């Protein structure tokens, strides 16, 4: 009843005929209002007021999670494995990480380093970290870092935060306290700009800071170095993506002076050819 076509209008069917509320124009939009306050009252798990709470707690914490695979995952990411040409001095760099765990708790391994072909490795470090989720986007990380290079080697306590900032910027910041009492910090950020589904441009920056001079390892206080780079990669498949790019690195203050005294450059451009892969 109320769905028939009014007389004299055969052939012109109104799809909304008979659906108007009393006293409201048939073409008017329905009212939009927030949920009533009562909707936010009551227990978080209302079923526990009727059924056994212990049973529901067990179902949520163990059986439901197990039924969906246990939510325990692992990943190995080789973010940068590259050849670097810098003012005729050929070198290499690596930056990789691996993690294992669930949604809230993970164990991480990170390593990075660089050097020049024909010489000793200039910088090499490994970090072992425990990660705890602060929210869906950021993780608190604590652990240890050991520097194999430069000499003398050092071990650090690590406290940092990594995650996904608004607008999909991947950020990673950490403070380091060495076994010699030195306090340093590092901040990194990168962003994946998709040009096509397979072609991706990645700008990245890194800043390093030191709270004091450490001449034995070539560090001065304040901002010690900064890097800014662009890498253009092509994902044949997501797990295999070669890239080319450029990067500018600069040392500052006493850190630059220490580098010059050692016969090194305080900064310059590098041309990059590398591979990004994960499994």
In this structure, what CATH number is given to the domain that contains residue 205?
A: 2.40.160.40
Decide: residue 65, CB within 10 A, 0-12 exposed, 13-18 middle, 19+ buried.
middle
Higher pLDDT, 32 or 135: 135
Number of domains in the chain: 1
Band (pLDDT 50/70/90 cuts) for residue 1 is: very low
Q: Which three-class secondary structure state does DSSP give residue 199?
A: strand
Return the structure tokens found at 244. 């080319």
105 lies in a domain? yes
25 lies in a domain? no
Please state, as a whole number, how many other Cβ atoms lie within 10 Å of the Cβ of residue 82: 24
Q: How many residues does the chain have?
A: 279
pTM (predicted TM-score): 0.76
201 lies in a domain? yes
21 lies in a domain? no
263 lies in a domain? yes
Asked whether the predicted pLDDT for residue 16 surpasses 50, the reply is: no
DSSP state of 279: -
Return the structure tokens found at 236. 């044949």
204 lies in a domain? yes
Long-range contacts made by residues 174-179, C-beta under 8 angstroms, separation at least 24? 174/141, 176/145, 178/154, 179/154, 179/155
- Domain of residue 256: give its range: 78-278
69 lies in a domain? no
User: What pLDDT, in 10s, does the model give residues 211-227?
Assistant: 999 998 999 999 999 99
56 lies in a domain? no
User: What pLDDT, in 10s, does the model give residues 107-141?
Assistant: 999 999 999 998 889 999 999 999 999 999 999 99
The predicted structure's pLDDT at residue 218: 92
Give dist(CA 255, CA 260) in Å, integer: 9
């Amino acid at each position: 009843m109320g769905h028939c076509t009014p007389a004299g209008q055969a052939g012109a069917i109104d799809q909304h005929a008979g659906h108007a509320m009393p006293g409201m124009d048939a073409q008017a939009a329905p009212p939009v209002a927030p949920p009533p306050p009562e909707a936010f009252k009551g227990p978080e798990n209302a079923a526990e007021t009727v059924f056994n709470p212990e049973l529901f707690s067990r179902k949520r914490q163990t059986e439901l999670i197990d039924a969906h695979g246990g939510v325990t995952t692992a990943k190995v990411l080789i973010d940068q494995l590259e050849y670097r040409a810098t003012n005729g001095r050929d070198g290499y760099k690596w930056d990789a990480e691996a993690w294992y765990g669930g949604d809230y708790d993970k164990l991480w391994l990170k390593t990075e380093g660089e050097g020049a072909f024909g010489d000793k490795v200039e910088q090499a470090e490994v970090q072992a970290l425990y990660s705890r989720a602060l929210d869906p986007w950021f993780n608190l990380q604590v652990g240890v870092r050991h520097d194999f290079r430069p000499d003398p080697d050092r071990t650090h306590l690590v406290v940092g935060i990594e995650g996904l900032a608004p607008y999909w910027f991947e950020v990673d910041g950490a403070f380091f306290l060495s076994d010699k009492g030195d306090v340093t910090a590092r901040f990194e950020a990168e962003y994946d700009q998709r040009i096509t589904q397979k072609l991706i441009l990645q700008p990245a920056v890194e800043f390093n800071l030191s709270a004091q001079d450490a001449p034995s390892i070539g560090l001065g206080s304040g901002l010690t170095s900064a890097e800014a780079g662009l890498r253009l990669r092509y994902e044949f498949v997501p797990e295999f993506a070669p890239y080319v790019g450029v990067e500018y690195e600069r040392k500052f203050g006493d850190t630059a002076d220490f580098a010059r005294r050692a016969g090194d450059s305080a900064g310059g451009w590098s041309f990059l050819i590398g591979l990004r892969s994960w499994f």
